[in-house]
Amino acid sequence: MIVIEGLHKTFPGRDGSDSGVVALQNLNLEIRDHEFVTVIGPSGCGKTTLLRIVAGLETADSGRVLIDGKPVLGPGPERAMVFQSFALLPWATVLDNVTFGAEMRGIPKDRREQRARELIKLVGLAGFERRLPKQLSGGMQQRVGLARALAVDPDILLMDEPFGSLDEQTRRLLQEQLIRIWEGNRKTVLFVTHSMEEAVLLGDRLILMCPRPGRVEEIIDIPLARPRGPETEKSPTFVDIKEHVWARLRAMQPELAA
């Protein structure tokens, strides 16, 4: 279980002349084991900051994150992160990118390469093992990023708008692929997105954050049957939840709706 208690994070002002930007303020949240939780909120509300603190890539000014009762003090082997920007090694092949994290953790070469080939096949990239990132489309690069995260067999998968920069067709295909993968291994997932449809389609619960300083505004259960797919989005429950989320988001930003 992930327990987030009283997180507060302020970033210094650029010129040092002001008190800085309060990104998170007294944020509290619990995420159960094997749960898929999506996070959505207005731009700049601290979603990515929250994810980076859970990943151990940022430190909070106050508050704490506990994983199975132990405080997060930095990156750990039980967590892996998938970034929006792909973050692949440009000089390394698909196979080498996927095995990179496992190599850093000291997993023997034969084991990590066998697992990497299984994951490359799982994300639909069999036959591309020797390609470089520049030879792949954006969607294919993001599949490599997902395979790399899974290769270290984390208990927790942290995903920061992983499909945000992709075209709509590729995004939908990767959503369906992620659903299939998650159904097979049931990792604990914390998934940040700007897409209401994506947040509802993927999540067991949806965390709605308020405008900066970021806090949890509402937690919405998503009682949609699994496995989910294109037909899910046609259900009245899906439509009702999406419309509720949009109404809440719109009300948070009256200056943009005017």
Task: State both tokens at 172.
Answer: 């939908």
Q: Which of 31, 15, 33, 13 is nearest to 23 (CA)?
A: 13
Contact 252, 211 (CB under 8 A): yes
Mean pLDDT of 65-80: 93
Q: Does domain 2-78+156-162+186-257 have CATH number 3.40.50.300?
A: yes
Asked if residue 258 has pLDDT above 60, the reply is: no
| pTM score of the predicted model | 0.91
pLDDT tens readout for residues 104-149? 888 888 888 999 999 999 888 999 999 999 999 988 998 899 999 8
pLDDT tens readout for residues 153-165? 899 999 999 888 7
Q: Exposed (0-12), middle (13-18) or buried (19+): which is 190, by Cβ within 10 Å?
A: buried
Asked if residue 77 has pLDDT above 80, the reply is: yes
pLDDT tens readout for residues 29-68? 999 999 999 999 998 899 999 999 999 999 999 999 999 9
Q: What percent of the chain has pLDDT over 70?
A: 96
Q: How confident is the model at residue 16 (pLDDT cuts 50, 70, 90)?
A: low
So where are the chain's domains?
A: 2-78+156-162+186-257
The helix (run of H) or strand (run of E) holding residue 79 is strand 79-82
pLDDT tens readout for residues 210-251? 998 999 999 999 999 998 988 999 999 999 999 999 999 999
Contact 154, 77 (CB under 8 A): yes
Which residues contact residue 58 at a Cβ distance below 8 angstroms, ignoring those fewer than 6 apart? 9, 49, 52
Alpha carbon distance 241, 220 (integer Å): 8
